[in-house]
Amino acid sequence: MQVLVVGGGGREHALVWKIAQSPKVTKIYCAPGNAGIAGIATCVNIPADDIGGLKKFALDNGIGLTVVGPELPLTMGIVDSFEKDGLRIFGPNAAVARLEGSKQFAKEIMREAGIPTADFAIFTDAAAAKKYIREKQQPLVVKADGLAAGKGVFPCHTADEAVIAVDRIITQKEFGDAGSVVVIEDFLEGEEASFICFTDGTTVVPLPSSQDHKRIFDNDAGPNTGGMGAYSPAPVVTPEVHERAMETVMKPLVAAFAARGIPFKGIIYAGLMIQNGIPRVLEFNMRMGDPETQPILFRLESDLVELMEGAIDGRLAQIDVQCDPRPAVCVVMAAKGYPDKYDKGSAILGLDDAAQIPDTFVFHAGTALKDGCVVTSGGRVLGVTARGATIQDAVASAYGAVKRIGWDGVQYRKDIAQRAFGR
């Protein structure tokens, strides 16, 4: 089988790496890919949001399975478009992907299905939003309704901070059309975790739990990013929390779409806030997380292609997911200036040296090849991932590899997975 992976970040490198291990796969293409992916797959210069170009490539090249990494093509309806022409593709259709494309829609579905989440209000008018903020008890979370690359969410501890967030989203249109609607939520206390499952519309199969680190600096300081590191499993997701998440979040969500007559096939990613053993939903994503994918797939022993085809064909109930019991950690190395304006084109040194550390793999995200040299080409550049007998061992290996890699202005957090140490 020939497989096409859509995207070009760290998540897609991890997907390509894992898909390449399937005995079902004879060749992998990736559009557009990156310098690391090019070592495993044939990179194709087609943007991830060029649905027509991607479909033509799949039809012309006999692609047996297309795997969609990023959220934008999913919300644009790539699955519906491919399926219309008889192509097999893994991911949710546009009606389901709207859960990620619109936070307002997601909150309405959660209310309808009785899924635990924060109380909220919706606004299109900045003045009305500010009036609501002034009347509400703080803290609050202000969110742009649409896709904003993980950067349109503002936890606000004072009314003034929340008002500034509203102005950035609605008035200044910092996130474009994604900010035409603003969602204001009560602030949820607790510890955050990522809970990711496969579903075929009936059966829900969980992957190992994980925890992301959103803020740019140590101790969760600074602005939100797309993610500065992750580890799996997340000890805060105890067996009891796992069961609650399945019964109060994942299964009711799939049932709500089934009741609407909408097939839900693909990934459910619930960002959970957990307090006193009770999980509540912060947001839903309809694809694998980045950088959570890297440690999760580093632990997954089952055939990923078999899981994806099981979701497409409605036979997930017949598939048993097997994982390496050892924990895994991913440390993101980012460019100078990220998450704001960042530098590009810096030569990356030490990749071969880092690759010598056992049970470690460097997943590329924002990289490119220039004159035979790997250079930075994005904000998040690398995801250095390692396994270990304990979480401390995994962290030591990951940072051991990180220290062998460098470029001008590199930045990374020094405290990835520290929360797990105390548990």
**HSE value, Cβ hemisphere, 13 Å, CA-based, for 192:** 19
Residue 61 in any domain: the answer is: yes
Q: Of 318, 352, 382, which residue constitutes the final position of a domain?
A: 318
Tell whether 199 and 311 lie within a shared domain: yes
| DSSP state letter for 169 | I
Structure tokens of 42?
Answer: 């044939």
Residue 113 in any domain: the answer is: no
Specify whether the CB–CB gap between 339 and 223 falls below 8 A: yes
CATH of the domain at 247: 3.30.470.20
Tell whether 310 and 231 lie within a shared domain: yes
Strands 89-90 and 65-68: parallel
Distance CA 181, CA 104 (A): 8
Is the pTM higher than 0.75? yes
Residue 176 in any domain: the answer is: yes
Report how many domains make up the chain.
Answer: 4
Task: Output the DSSP codes for 315-374.
Answer: -GGG----B-SS-EEEEEEE-TTTTSS----PBPB-HHHHTTSTTEEEEESSEEEETTEE
Residue 114 in any domain: the answer is: no
Tell whether 360 and 293 lie within a shared domain: no
Tell whether 245 and 291 lie within a shared domain: yes
Helices 10-19, 304-313: axis angle to 10 degrees equals 90
Q: Of 318, 341, 360, which residue constitutes the final position of a domain?
A: 318
Tell whether 6 and 77 lie within a shared domain: yes
Residue 98 in any domain: the answer is: no
Residue 300 in any domain: the answer is: yes
- From first to last of the 423 residues of the chain, give the pLDDT tens digit: 999 999 999 999 999 999 999 999 999 999 999 999 999 999 999 999 999 999 999 999 999 999 999 999 999 999 999 999 999 999 999 999 999 999 999 999 999 999 999 999 999 999 999 999 999 988 999 999 998 876 789 999 999 999 999 999 999 999 998 889 999 999 999 999 999 999 999 999 999 999 999 999 999 999 889 999 999 999 999 999 999 999 999 999 999 999 999 999 999 999 999 999 999 999 999 999 999 999 999 999 999 999 999 999 999 999 999 999 999 999 999 999 999 999 899 999 999 999 999 999 999 999 999 999 999 999 999 999 999 999 999 999 999 999 999 999 999 999 999 999 877
Nearest to 39 by CA among 376, 384, 304, 362: 362
Based on the number of CB atoms within 10 Å of its own CB, is 306 exposed (0-12), middle (13-18) or buried (19 or more)?
middle
Specify whether the CB–CB gap between 364 and 37 falls below 8 A: yes
Supply the range of the domain harboring residue 160.
Answer: 123-180
Q: Chain centroid to CA 406: how far? A: 25
Distance CA 149, CA 153 (A): 10
Structure tokens of 173?
Answer: 């249109």
